[in-house]
Chain A
Amino acid sequence: MVRASLFATCLVDQFFPQVGVSTVNLLRRLEVQVDFPVGQTCCGQPAFNSGYRSHALPLALRWLDLFQDSEYVVVPSGSCAAMLKVYTPELLKDNPKDAQRAVELARRTYELSQFLVDVLKVTDVGASYPARITYHASCHLLRELGVSSQPLALLRGVRGAEFAPMEAATECCGFGGTFAVKYADISTAILAGKLRAIEVTEAEAVVACDMGCLMHMGGAMRRRGMKTRPMHLACSHVPKSSPS
């Protein structure tokens, strides 16, 4: 039996716990033994990306300690997985005690779609969702982790779903973490193009593998009264518009 530890991410833990619930249920259905190391908080990405490496460092170490015995670490977020897999080993590379451990744990850490398709080798998880959906390729998932086909393969396996490809699906939605508040007007100007592309698909749900992008797109879709809902790949049903 495969054992996997969930790294839920701070956004899921605090704002979108149903994504974590869906992830756990999904993995358990695939007979993965799931555990959730209690006390985990954040991968440190907001601090790291804003230049505050000294605040990111303790969180990197926290991840190392909490997950050191994990067979696999599964992360339902492309950018947090990129933080753990790509940047954390770099952050710790001059740390003689932890550098090697970080490299090894990073190797056992996977973004959810990557874990399902590349490790468990499944593309049909038995999901059904009878509606029109579209997909946004989150930047870090795509360009830092090189994950492009896995989420699409999983979506193709969803029964009843009608897939409407989005124009320029691989273009940034304008979120960029703290960029979204630091340069809020540029962020929303970039987002406007993404929303138009979503609107054209007439999809009921825009699926992505990162709650950062989804909270950004979803917040704007709600503000504009669009009918499309943000949906994490892990959710086989549309979460109610309320994330609580």
Chain B
Amino acid sequence: MQPRTQEFSKLAARALGDTQVQKALLGLQTGFDQARQRAILELTPEAWDRLRDRAREIRRHTLERLDYYVGLLADNVVRNGGAVHFARDAHEAAQIVLDIARRNGVKLAVKGKSMVSEEMALNHLLAANGVEALETDLGEYIIQLAGETPFHIVAPAIHKSQEEVAELFARKLGTPEGADAEALTRIARETLRQKFLQAGMGISGVNFAIAETGTVCIVTNEGNGRMSTSLPPIHVALMGMEKVTPALEDLGVFYRLLPRAATGQRATSYFTLVSGPRRNEDEDGPEQFHLVMMDNGRSRLLADPELREALFCIRCGACLNACPVYRKVGGHAYGWVYPGPIGAVVTPAMVGLPKAVALPFASTLCGACREVCPVKINIPRMLLKLRADAVEGAPGQRKASWYEGLTFRAWGRLMRSERTLARARGVAVFLQRPFSRDGWLQKMPLPLFYRWTRGRDFPTLARRSFHELWEDELRTSSPQVPPLR
């Protein structure tokens, strides 16, 4: 998938004007965000906070020794009879999967939900080479039929109404019009069930990969994940290299955090552990197991002490649900795989900051993301760092608007000298006079600033600044009212 991160403003405007998208986003707030809050209350906020700190410790420990744990994971996967593949970038990773498919004459692959495969644009590459890749997660299936990308990292098709899905199914699958949710799910399930049996390959994502046992853990609410890992003769699991965790017991922390943060659930419907291919004594399971570990910009995050914590992310989506900007513009506006606050941090590392420069600025820095994050990632601070990189960073990384640069230079001059500032304000107070309506401006004929008055009045400069009031009256005056004590 080609990043459309440069089109952020345009895509955001489209989402703002789309009533269905706005309705869905409102639902996300009540459905996910409030459910999360209830789940935390139920567990008790203190216990929740302890879990978060514990999770942070595990993540910090792991990332400090990432090469060691990745190596350990690889060794143990091989010991279990699986194969391990390392990919530097998304392109390489997709090529690896294609090669496995080709070597084994695979014509049809069934896929569980995997954001990493979205980074790889895997479906496109496979299709272009004669391998059909079929999404089996209901949400992913819907957006695959619609030819779209995930709208949300946990609920990829949340932006679509039931009517839209019914219409889509009618068009693509020839189902009767106006089917209800239950019927639609049944239709999807029946269509997919046959495919599971025909598929030569199952592809899945990975939520956690346990180094000491060589096990991958997949957390889902639909049985499709388990079927794509167990029915086809080959299972290919895709992961970002940061998904490794040292020990099985770590899941005791992460599995209590992830469902609660994501959907407010105490547990998901399915929790799958896969340790390699079928063994002699096993009755079923795939004959081959492949684990693809992908870097794709992650080592760039790892190398930057100010951004490293972004790799703590367990992809729960809570920061999206809490973000005032995501709640208005939705997932497609961000123009690539990962939307919302965490998307604004990781996307620049993956597609390059100059291309994704709109994203770190598309935030009010309100801090809601940090507050809800189950691993307490300080996302606002990272956005600030990326903004600084974009404006004053290394030449290849920079991407600032010259107009804004000039504005800030002028502003800086004013703010560094109170005398210049006072002179400039004198002129401005004079100039604003004819436009003032009771101390407010309804229009500001200045580049950039004119946008303020599209929806809001702007205050005029006070006739006398606080500096003047202080000098003229306050400095020597006593309080207007007698003291309290």
Of listed B327, B365, B366, B367, residue having the most chain A CB within 10 A:
B366
Complex alpha-carbon distance, A24 and B13, angstroms: 44
Query: Provided the pairs A20-B469, A190-B324, A241-B438 are in contact, do residues A51 and B388 lie with their beta carbons within 8 angstroms?
Result: yes
A51–B365 contact, CB under 8 A?
no
Number of chain A residues whose Cβ lies closer than 8 Å to a Cβ of chain B: 76
List residues 230-244 of chain A with CB under 8 A from any CB of chain B: 240-244
Which residues of chain A are within 8 angstroms of B456 by Cβ–Cβ distance? 188, 191, 216, 219-220, 222-223
Which one of A10-18, A67-75, A159-167 is at the interface? A10-18
Would you call the interface of chain A mostly helix, strand, loop, or mixed?
helix
Does A49 make an interface contact (CB < 8 A)? yes
Does B460 make an interface contact (CB < 8 A)? yes
Residue of B9, B411, B468, B480 near A183 (CB, 8 A) is B9
Does B260 make an interface contact (CB < 8 A)? no
B362–A223 contact, CB under 8 A?
no
List residues 298-349 of chain B with CB under 8 A from any CB of chain A: 324-325, 327-329
Minimal beta-carbon separation of A217 from chain B (angstroms): 9
B363–A176 contact, CB under 8 A?
yes
Does B103 make an interface contact (CB < 8 A)? no
Does A30 make an interface contact (CB < 8 A)? yes
Q: Which residue of B lies closest to A39 (CB)?
A: B418
Flag B453-471 by CB within 8 Å of A: 1 or 0 each: 0111111111111111111
Which residues of chain A are within 8 angstroms of B13 by Cβ–Cβ distance? 185
Which one of B44-52, B241-249, B444-452 is at the interface? B444-452
A172–B368 contact, CB under 8 A?
yes
**Once A and B bind, how many residue pairs between them come within 8 Å at the CB atom?**
228
Which one of A96-104, A139-147, A198-206 is at the interface? A139-147
B475–A183 contact, CB under 8 A?
no
Residue of A55, A171, A180, A241 near B412 (CB, 8 A) is A55
Minimal beta-carbon separation of A238 from chain B (angstroms): 14
Does B394 make an interface contact (CB < 8 A)? no
Complex alpha-carbon distance, A168 and B461, angstroms: 31
Query: Provided the pairs A15-B459, A220-B455, A244-B463 are in contact, do residues A176 and B439 lie with their beta carbons within 8 angstroms?
Result: no
Flag B340-376 by CB within 8 Å of A: 1 or 0 each: 0000000000000000000001111111101100000
Of listed A174, A219, A220, A241, residue having the most chain B CB within 10 A:
A219
Does B435 make an interface contact (CB < 8 A)? no
Which residues of chain A are within 8 angstroms of B404 by Cβ–Cβ distance? 50
Complex alpha-carbon distance, A235 and B409, angstroms: 34
Does A215 make an interface contact (CB < 8 A)? yes
Does B479 make an interface contact (CB < 8 A)? yes
Does B12 make an interface contact (CB < 8 A)? yes
Minimal beta-carbon separation of A227 from chain B (angstroms): 15
Does B68 make an interface contact (CB < 8 A)? no
Q: Which residue of B lies closest to A35 (CB)?
A: B475
List residues 380-409 of chain B with CB under 8 A from any CB of chain A: 384, 387-392, 400, 404-405, 408-409
Which residues of chain A are within 8 angstroms of B457 by Cβ–Cβ distance? 219-220, 222-223
B454–A184 contact, CB under 8 A?
yes
Does B280 make an interface contact (CB < 8 A)? no
Does A153 make an interface contact (CB < 8 A)? no
Number of chain B residues whose Cβ lies closer than 8 Å to a Cβ of chain A: 76
B461–A15 contact, CB under 8 A?
yes
Does A158 make an interface contact (CB < 8 A)? no
Flag B10-23 by CB within 8 Å of A: 1 or 0 each: 00110010000000
Which residues of chain A are within 8 angstroms of B388 by Cβ–Cβ distance? 51, 53
Does B41 make an interface contact (CB < 8 A)? no
Complex alpha-carbon distance, A18 and B462, angstroms: 9
Query: Provided the pairs A54-B392, A183-B12, A185-B454 are in contact, do residues A243 and B412 lie with their beta carbons within 8 angstroms?
Result: no
Complex alpha-carbon distance, A130 and B482, angstroms: 21
Does B478 make an interface contact (CB < 8 A)? yes
List residues 219-270 of chain B with CB under 8 A from any CB of chain A: none
B366–A13 contact, CB under 8 A?
no
Which residues of chain B are within 8 angstroms of A182 by Cβ–Cβ distance? 361, 448, 451
A17–B462 contact, CB under 8 A?
yes
Flag A123-152 by CB within 8 Å of B: 1 or 0 each: 001100000000000011011100000000
Does A197 make an interface contact (CB < 8 A)? no
Jot down 5 A-B pairs with beta carbons below 8 A, ordered by A: A52-B412, A139-B364, A172-B364, A190-B328, A220-B455
Which residues of B line the A interface, CB within 8 A? 9, 12-13, 16, 324-325, 327-329, 361-368, 370-371, 384, 387-392, 400, 404-405, 408-409, 411-412, 414-416, 418, 421, 425, 436, 438-440, 442, 448-449, 451-452, 454-471, 474-475, 478-485
Given A29-B481, A171-B366, A223-B457, 19 further pairs, Cβ under 8 A:
A15-B460, A17-B466, A18-B462, A20-B470, A38-B467, A41-B415, A42-B415, A51-B387, A51-B392, A52-B412, A177-B365, A182-B448, A183-B9, A189-B16, A215-B459, A219-B459, A222-B456, A242-B438, A244-B459
Which residues of A line the B interface, CB within 8 A? 8, 10, 12-18, 20-21, 24-25, 28-31, 36, 38-42, 44, 46-55, 58-59, 62, 87, 125-126, 139-140, 142-144, 171-172, 174-177, 179-191, 215-216, 218-220, 222-223, 240-244
Q: Which 3 A-B pairs have the closest CB atoms?
A: A176-B364, A242-B439, A51-B391
